[in-house]
């Protein structure tokens, strides 16, 4: 009987630990991107966070990264409460009811921006000990994603920091064939074969430790086109 009680207590403790570590909210995706087609005016990019608990939660968010190529304008970031201009001091808390969603919308205007340019914002979203990052990206193009999206050898990686994957965008003329992920001691963590001329999604394995990694992009001859550092949360 004593042994049974010990096993029962161990099971209860394990269940409590699992329950305590369960995520309180989820994101429909790590990044949301759109192709701004001229003339387009202001374009809003949506991404939703969902309360996964049976209770109300306090969802807080703030900007961690913000970039506008020349002549792009940022029209504001909105949540369930209101809309906000970019500021490093922005720190908003939303009350989200059980199973309900927080709809984030970030708006950009590329009317006077040059073709092939981009803008993006990354926010950190937290609730208790749960932390996630979401990135909103706008590209300007005449017909959708094209080889003129980026300058030669220019590479964009987002989101950064990332939780589950990174999207790598590059110029088609770069002839990208492989994307490799290295840890800081130079060990290869993952190698991704590229099939798309302009972009690739690199998903992280479930057992990949958090930390800083180096992304190395190479062409069909094995020449390194670019290297970038990313943070895996």
Note whether 139 and 156 are same-domain residues: no
Q: Provide the whole-model pTM.
A: 0.60
Residues of the chain with pLDDT under 50: 6-8, 11-21, 143-153
At 45-71, the pLDDT tens digits run 899 999 999 999 999 999 988 889 888
Residue 196's pLDDT is 77
User: DSSP class of residue 25?
Assistant: E
**Could you tell me if 77 and 175 lie in one domain?**
no
CATH code, 65: 2.60.40.2030
Tell me which of 87, 120, 144 is where a domain ends: 144
Number of folded domains that form the chain: 2
CA 25 and chain centroid, separation: 15
* pLDDT value for 67: 87
Instruction: Give the range of the structural domain holding residue 52, as residue numbers without chain letter.
Output: 23-144
Do 175 and 117 sit in the same domain of this protein? no
Same domain, 189 and 134: no
> What pLDDT is attached to residue 106?
93
**What CATH number did the domain enclosing 164 receive?**
2.60.40.1930
**Same domain membership, residue 105 and residue 37:** yes
Task: Evaluate whether 47 touches 104 at the Cβ level (below 8 Å).
Answer: yes
Q: Are residues 117 and 176 in the same domain?
A: no
Domain final residue pick, 88, 123, 144: 144
Neighbours of 201 (CB within 10 A): 13
Q: Are 168 and 157 in contact (CB under 8 A)?
A: yes
In a shared domain, residues 140 and 27: yes
d(CA 3, CA 6): 5
**144, 178, 194: which is the final residue of a domain?**
144
204 and 172 belong to one structural domain: yes
Q: Do 134 and 183 have their domain in common?
A: no
86 domain residue, yes or no: yes
pLDDT for 8 equals 47
Give the pLDDT confidence score for residue 147 in this predicted structure: 36
């Amino acid at each position: 009987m004593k042994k049974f009680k010990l096993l029962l207590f161990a099971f209860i403790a394990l269940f409590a630990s699992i329950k305590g570590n369960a995520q309180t909210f989820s994101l429909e995706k790590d990044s949301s991107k759109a192709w701004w087609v001229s003339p387009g005016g202001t374009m809003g990019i949506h991404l939703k966070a969902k309360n996964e608990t049976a209770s109300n939660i306090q969802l807080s968010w703030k900007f961690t990264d913000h970039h506008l190529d020349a002549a792009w304008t940022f029209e504001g970031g909105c949540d369930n409460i209101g809309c906000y201009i970019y500021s490093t001091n922005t720190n908003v808390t939303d009350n989200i009811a059980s199973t309900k969603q927080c709809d984030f919308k970030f708006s950009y205007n590329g009317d006077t921006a040059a073709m092939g340019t981009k803008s993006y914002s990354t926010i950190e979203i937290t609730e208790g000990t749960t932390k996630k990052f979401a990135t909103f990206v706008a590209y300007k193009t005449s017909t959708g994603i094209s080889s003129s999206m980026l300058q030669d050898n220019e590479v964009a990686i987002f989101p950064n920091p990332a939780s589950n994957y990174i999207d790598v965008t590059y110029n088609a003329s770069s002839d990208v064939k492989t994307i490799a992920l290295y840890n800081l001691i130079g060990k290869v963590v993952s190698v991704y074969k590229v099939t798309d001329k302009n972009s690739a999604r690199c998903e992280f394995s479930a057992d990949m430790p958090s930390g800083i990694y180096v992304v190395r992009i190479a062409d069909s001859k094995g020449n390194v086109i670019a290297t970038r550092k990313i943070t895996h949360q």
